[in-house]
Structure 1
Amino acid sequence: MTEYTPGPLDRDATVYVAGHRGLVGSAIWRHLDEQGFSRLVGRSSAELDLRDRDAVFGFFADTRPRYVVLAAAKVGGILANCTYPVDFLSENLQIQTNVLDAALQHEVERVLFLGSSCIYPKLAPQPIKEEYLLTGHLEPTNDAYAIAKIAGILHVQAVRRQYGLPWISAMPTNLYGSGDNFSREDSHVLPALIRRYDQARRTGAPSVTNWGSGTPRREFLHVDDMAAACLHLLEHFDGPTQVNVGTGQDLTIRDLAALVADAVGYDGETHWDTSKPDGTPRKLLDVSQLTASGWEPQVPLAEGVARTVAWYRSHGESIRQ
């Protein structure tokens, strides 16, 4: 493999952000735009179905991007992952394989593949180091999605070994922020809590019932921080292993619920339905590799939740619910 030295990306080069309308992709797009990138390219799913291999290859032939950020994916919470495992496995494999294969055919200089912290074993030692990948059983409630993302990491590593291209992977912790999915069916825990508590406040409901026991611990990163970390990695990191992206701090779901209730101004009671699954007991990333490269998050959780609540309320009917 030819040695690659990371450095500032060409702000005038064509950059394709796959999934630029999603939570992560839209934040990355905003950040790149703010940092002076003048030739950002994105396509909605209606304009380009990334599951359509011929369409993806045609798109790359037309646009010929120099850099690619692969943030497109089918995502959802515990309920969606449990209900539609085939969809999460098949569609994500199709999306990432098509994009990565097309990027390889056109020898894209730099690719950043985004995965998820659910790739790690359910009972991995905490905090979770990158080296723990494939050392134990996955969490059953999202194993299909995790397998797809693991395949993406190995795909990137294989391209590095076989073709010498300096492609990298980043594994974010739980993300939240502007543009999140607040739907009842497939939202993640934090936006689901915001929707639930805000609705209870508006309707005057005396109590709110959440899934599980509230005891699992989770780490949360604001999506604007994630976007900044992505550009940082593209300009400062090159290596075969995936890189964890998070805050290095976690809290219980029970404490998170209390934080959200306070942010929306709800003062009723909270109950916990222990017949519902908790998921992984704890999931905290070891982010020492990222911090050693010179990056740290800037948005405290309380501030980030307050900003997300404000965004949720200001967007009304346009929000995915």
Structure 2
Amino acid sequence: MEDADSVVPLRPGFDIQVRGFNRTQVIEHLELLEDQLRLVTIDRNEAAQLNSDLRKLCDDTRRSLDEAERRLKRIESSDTGLPAASQRVQNMLSIAEDEVQTLRDQAKRHADTIRGTAETEARELLSAAEQAASELRNECNELVTDVESRRARLHREHDQKVSDLRTREQRLRQNIRNEYKRTMSIAQEEADELITDTRRQCSQLDAESERMRLTTLEEVRTKRQQLEELQNAVLSAMDNARQTLDASVASLRNHDFATELTADGDSEPVEPVEQQSVRLPEQRDDVQTYTIPIERQHTNGTAPKPGPARRN
């Protein structure tokens, strides 16, 4: 088996490749070839064993012949050798020598035949094994070459696909950049237009607000002047009414005082009631004021008599 391994190397491992041969079929084919090579190796080993057995038989026969020759030489060299032996012994020895020579020739011929057959079969087995190994090597080389070519083609296809993908990626990136720039320019234009419209509307609103503010201020100023005029008129009317009331109150008091003097002729004269002037605060815009007369208390401790009821 070691000779078979030296003639035919062991099966190498196959790498799994994309779009290659079916790995199971390749392994089955190689196992079939290995089985055939194993059978051829067994036949060669049997032939070698047979050759060894025949060689051993030939050696045993040669040793037997050598032993017989030594025995004959001992007999010839002894005192009772062939000259002293009888004719019968000489005949027996001659017959034995002839038989030994015949056996030797037959064994030699048989050994030569077996050796030639074994060598022929061994050469045939070796040539068949070498041929099978050569075929296996050729098939393995073809498989390896095919796998290498397929791998190179796959690498080329992969590189081509990678190049196409990179080109497509660059094209998409450029399109995205252009679209982004276009979108940003459109958005910038829309933003500028919106800012311009907003500023214009703000200016219009500011002008409208300023106009409304001026109009409102003018209206407020006009209404304020009207209110001030109305207030002055009301204050003037109230002053006139107060003066009229003061004059009426003074005349009524004088009339009551004269009536009391007429009714009480013998009583002591009573001093006329003086009106105390009250200092009024300055006139305010949001407050209306008027003067109220205050009567002085009598010095004799008597309460003043109530006057007649005022008639409306």
The TM tier, using the shorter chain, reads under 0.3
Q: Higher strand proportion, which one?
A: 1
Higher helix share: 2
Q: Whose Rg is larger?
A: 2
TM-score (norm 2): 0.18
TM-score, length of structure 1 as denominator length: 0.17
